[in-house]
Amino acid sequence: MGKANAIAAKVSSLHGQQLKEEDYEELLSRHSVPEIAAYLKNETHYRDALRDVRENNVHRGQLEDLLRKDVFREVVKLYRYADRKEAAYYRLYIEENEIRVILETIRMMISAHFDDVIIQLPLFLKEYASYDIMRIGAVRCFDDLLDVLARTPYAALLTPLRQPKGKESEISYTACEHVLMKHFYSRVMSTIDNIAKGTLRSELHELHGTDIELKNMEVIYRLKHYYHAQGSVIRDTLYPFSCHVRSGQLEEMIAAQDEGTLLQLIRSTWYHLDIPQEAEVDIGWYMDAFRYRTAKRKLYYSQQAPVVFGAYIVLQRNELANLTRIIEGIRYQLPAERIKAMLIY
């Protein structure tokens, strides 16, 4: 079996183990985090990750960390089958994870909840990250963070956004997120162009290009809905990549005078998102639902190992998001039907 076929076969096997509708129904019938942990441990593919967990003592953060660790471990195991030329594409998964850690650290600096950094440190990234994950737990100011990131591209990206010690609350999380994710998306697109051509390139562009475009439309909606942001501010926050949405369409969205017009413009794009005309719309849910459907289709029908891998990452990220919604919903004693409406599967 060739390396590409090996990855596709392994991903197909992993996808077959993912949670199904009956699993979600069972989880929704539980009433506490320990009950959720017990079901995941005894009835699902997370059994190995939770083998040593005592269900009655597990707390929400610990459970979520164990689930993320299990997913990361399974994904990294796929790397051994990677073609040397395509290895850079698979490595992007690690880069995205290490950026998420940086952003979470910045969020903690702004809120001064430093204990949360230590609690949420993904130690499973330790041997793969481009910086010392263990040192992140000691970060207390922007200069500390820049010191940890000194030998990575992230330091140069974040230095212009630095705030002096004692001014952490004035750090712009949005600006930090934008500069890091713009760098990441550039890395994704340039890597695709370097390692792929023909059908593989077009399929990878489709998978990641739609992700970026959906993010751009979500950014426009959120900035206009929650912050009434000016057009220039919105343009500076968008990612300069396109797939199915023309720049003129984005300009129309930015110029929309009311929310109804904006939602209609989003609906009328190539994506044909079925967003309701309501006062409060969780637009991110509709974007994620489209990503989920696209990834599922790619996983079933693509013959390209990197595409199948990328699609699996989207589906597994969605599964973790579903589990987080269930755990949070039960924590806040929400009705099962309300939690179910938040899930995507």
pLDDT tens-digit map of 17-60? 999 999 999 999 999 999 999 999 999 999 999 999 998 888 88
Helix spans in the chain (H): 3-17, 21-28, 33-43, 60-77, 87-111, 114-119, 133-136, 142-148, 153-158, 173-195, 198-227, 231-237, 247-255, 259-267, 283-301, 305-331, 336-342
**Cβ burial, residue 79 (10 Å; 0-12/13-18/19+):** middle
pLDDT digits (tens, 9 = 90+) for 197-225: 999 999 999 999 999 999 999 999 999 99
Contact assessment for residue 207 and residue 295, using Cβ atoms and an 8 Å cutoff: yes
Contact assessment for residue 146 and residue 212, using Cβ atoms and an 8 Å cutoff: no
Contact assessment for residue 114 and residue 140, using Cβ atoms and an 8 Å cutoff: yes
Measured in Å, how far apart are the chain's first and last C-alpha atoms?
32
Contact assessment for residue 101 and residue 134, using Cβ atoms and an 8 Å cutoff: no
pLDDT digits (tens, 9 = 90+) for 303-341: 999 999 999 999 999 999 999 999 999 999 999 999 999
pLDDT at 116 over 70: no
pLDDT at 1 over 60: no
pLDDT at 280: 78
pLDDT at 323: 97
